[in-house]
Amino acid sequence: MKIIISETKRQLGLKAAQTGADLIRKAILERGEANIIVATGASQFEMLGELVKEDINWSVVTAFHLDEYIGISDKHPASFRKYLKERFADIVFPREFNYVNGDTDPYQECALLGEKIVKHQIDVAFVGIGENGHLAFNDPPADFETEEPYLVVNLNDACRRQQLGEGWFATFEDVPRKAISMSIRQIMKSKSIICSVPDARKSQAVYNTLNSEITPDCPASIMRNHPDTVLYLDLQSSSLI
């Protein structure tokens, strides 16, 4: 795992976006198309803001959504579909964007998305790390073994408090208890992983990711086994390493 530390999260986002854009352009040059995974949350604001400015032929890019709450519509302020439409898809208009639909039968949705993504080699996955060390919505202890591309998962209280703290919900009880998430093994099948993690509140999770055993109790630690992961930090998130 390569680590790049920037002074600010704006600089972090710029560097992460530039590296990701280079990987997308490389895939397009080699194969005529590219496949990516896109994350959401406050940690991705700066990176996505810069990625949409990059000179990329988005008409040959297929994108997959990382996770979504179960039981909220795409009009809800916390909806990750809403987030990605407004901050990414409706700006660059990729060839195809495979959203996770939390409004329908979640197990059927997992099966449908799984059938789609296994037909694509993912060139770059844009991800973050949760305050509890989660990767996507795979809270600890995460399932490191399943080959299912998408899972129905339970959100633990630490994860739900993070969503409340970021301002997505009015009260703790409003935060859903379940979500659909891309699995750990599916994320790890990506050729490259760009992991953007700003802010002091993520510093302990960053420390654990880099220094704990590689364990389901710190899901993000698994990225140390990936051959091409770059972890982008700012001064605050890197303060404990």
Return per-residue pLDDT of the chain as tens, 241 residues: 999 999 999 999 999 999 999 999 999 999 999 999 999 988 999 999 999 999 999 999 999 999 999 999 999 999 999 999 999 999 999 999 999 999 999 999 999 999 999 999 999 999 999 999 999 999 999 999 999 999 999 999 999 999 999 888 999 999 999 999 999 999 999 999 999 999 999 999 999 999 999 999 999 999 999 999 999 999 999 999 9
CATH number of 222's domain = 3.40.50.1360
Does 239 reside within a domain? no
Domain count, the chain: 1
Domain annotation covers residue 60:
yes
The helix (H) or strand (E) run that includes residue 182 is strand 178-182
Secondary structure letter of residue 36 according to DSSP: E
Does any domain span residue 18?
A: yes
Helices (H) and strands (E) in the chain, counts: 8, 10
CA neighbours closer than 13 Å in the CB half-sphere of residue 144: 13
What phi and psi, each to the nearest 5 degrees, are found at residue 140? -70, 145
Whether residue 162 lies inside any domain: the answer is yes
pTM recorded for the entire structure: 0.95
Give the pLDDT confidence of 70-122 residue by residue, as tens digits: 999 999 999 999 999 999 999 999 999 999 999 999 999 999 999 999 999 99
Supply the mean pLDDT for the chain.
96
In a domain, 241, yes or no: no
Give the per-residue pLDDT at 106.
97
Residues 6+ apart with CB under 8 A from 20: 36, 47, 51, 124, 126, 194
Residue 231 dihedral angles phi and psi, to the nearest 5°: -100, 115
How far is it, in rounded angstroms, from Cα 195 to Cα 173? 29
Position 182: which residue type?
M
Coil vs helix vs strand at 17: helix
- In a domain, residue 82? The reply is yes
| Residue 87 located in a structural domain | yes
For residue 205, the enclosing domain spans 2-234
* 163-168 contacts at long range (C-beta below 8 A, 24 or more positions apart): 163/78, 165/201, 166/41, 166/42, 168/77, 168/78
Alpha-carbon distance 178 to 137, whole Å? 9
Inside any domain, residue 230: yes
Give the separation between CA 37 and CA 85, rounded to whole angstroms.
14
Sorted by sequence, the CB contacts under 8 Å of residue 115 that are 6+ apart come out as: none
DSSP for 98-167 reads: E---TTS-HHHHHHHHHHHHTTS--SEEEE---TT--BTTBPSSP-SS---SEEEEEPPHHHHHHHHHTT
